[in-house]
Chain A
């Protein structure tokens, strides 16, 4: 579904991605693991057209999207839940959801109702402005907003960041449901143990490179992964 070949991204003099290659297949949850600054966010931003790669190639469903502009990606079928959630702070919950459907033609009120079924708390808050929501509510809204674009591939950037464990469990359960409903997921997480238990496959990034990738079950038992990324999380 998604293939990345030798992609290089630079920020001025800094090279953030030194030619990474990986793929995501239809129906999978693939997780990208790595320490802070490894290049995970940059990778997702590149996949949404926010940073064009200096070299390399990105193919999505057989189409070359290497130089496609950011605002075209939602119509192509890629949704993005950005790092830090990035809710529109002065818009209501409902307007935020509507923004997710910005490129859609026709009525989408049914889909909004469906989001409210998945995230009942958003229904209670529908008339409140995004800036007044709690972190967990904002994360649900960010996911709901991306789903409003009917993506076939959903990019999630650290959806559990800064959230209470109970809410993290809810978020992970919902990510599982999203996959089960047929949307492919590329998940960036700090919470490696939980991400690997949910995912089908994973890649490990270090300093702008993908150092290895494997099935999630193999990564969970991999000595290098256990030492560096699972650490004290291993028993949890």
Chain B
């Protein structure tokens, strides 16, 4: 008992010391989870299915931007405006690649099943097959060792909050992530395009009676979710793990957890779930060995599914039954 108390006391001390830096790091990871989680939740919204090949959309964004950075940067060390331009190019390359792969997935792995009114299980099998194909293709073509992405900037501590250093890498993630997430939110809330997505998610058949082209709306959700995930693949690739054929697996499962945590089908929920998961994971480092982090995330997934399957903001999961 005394031992246990001592254990927690010492770890709480770590948490107090490291609080701000863990928070900053957790938020940065959380922003990337959020960007990937959007794709899960949007596709679930209109199709009531989990796109388990979304991890490879993320990976495609990582590789596409990696090759782009390699071509543009090579062995140079960019700085100033050129750095900013390179980051924008990286985001766009990752986003376009992610959108393209997501669109292909919809066309090849899902649409034929939809035409045939296939059971949900068929979609799951098709998704797993597509995912397996894509990451093995990447492994074969690009090698099975992770590559580090040529950096568009020189990473350094830009400022500190309460003594915690905030690196340029984190700032890049924040700026890109927050711009993309807010743009998406405004797009869905205020534009006609967004309204068609919301209508299709609430009642696809009735939406089509209003003149919404459901096929096009479905493609649109794959494209938007794919662009965000692809851009997140670029941001992730800038980190110390770089890019690799298997890079999508764990982050995408985490993002799926985030989407469930926030309430699957709910866009803001996915963003909140992503941020929350990133921070919780980061703080848990103070209490458990780093190798247990993934256990924490998937423990959360299991607990949410058991006790609050509608997540934080969700209330419509029941409709999928």
Contact = CB atoms under 8 A, between A and B. Distances in A.
Given A71-B208, A89-B202, A99 B195 contact: yes
A31 interface: no
Interface string A35-66: 00000000000001110000000000000000
Contacts of B198: 88, 90-91
Contacts of A197: none
A102 interface: yes
A90 B315 CA distance: 11
Nearest to A79: B209
A139 interface: no
A69 B205 CA distance: 12
A132 B46 CA distance: 22
Contacts of A48: 209
Nearest to A155: B209
Which bucket holds chain B's interface residue count?
Answer: 10 to 19
Contact of B211 (A71, A82, A86, A91): A71
Interface in B258-309: none
B192 interface: yes
Given A48-B209, A50-B208, A149-B210, A95 B195 contact: yes
Nearest to A49: B208
Contact of A91 (B192, B202, B213): B202
B172 interface: no
B21 interface: no
Contact of A99 (B207, B213, B214, B316): B207
A126 B144 CA distance: 57
A145 B212 CA distance: 14
Interface string A73-88: 1110000101000101
A103 interface: yes
Interface in A87-136: 88-91, 95, 98-100, 102-103
B196 interface: yes
Interface in B188-240: 192, 195-196, 198-199, 202-203, 205-214
Nearest to A45: B205
5 contacts: A70-B209, A71-B211, A88-B199, A90-B198, A102-B199
Given A95-B195, A98-B195, A100-B210, 19 more contacts: A48-B209, A50-B205, A50-B208, A69-B208, A69-B213, A70-B208, A71-B212, A71-B214, A82-B209, A86-B203, A88-B199, A90-B316, A99-B207, A102-B211, A102-B212, A103-B210, A103-B211, A145-B210, A149-B211
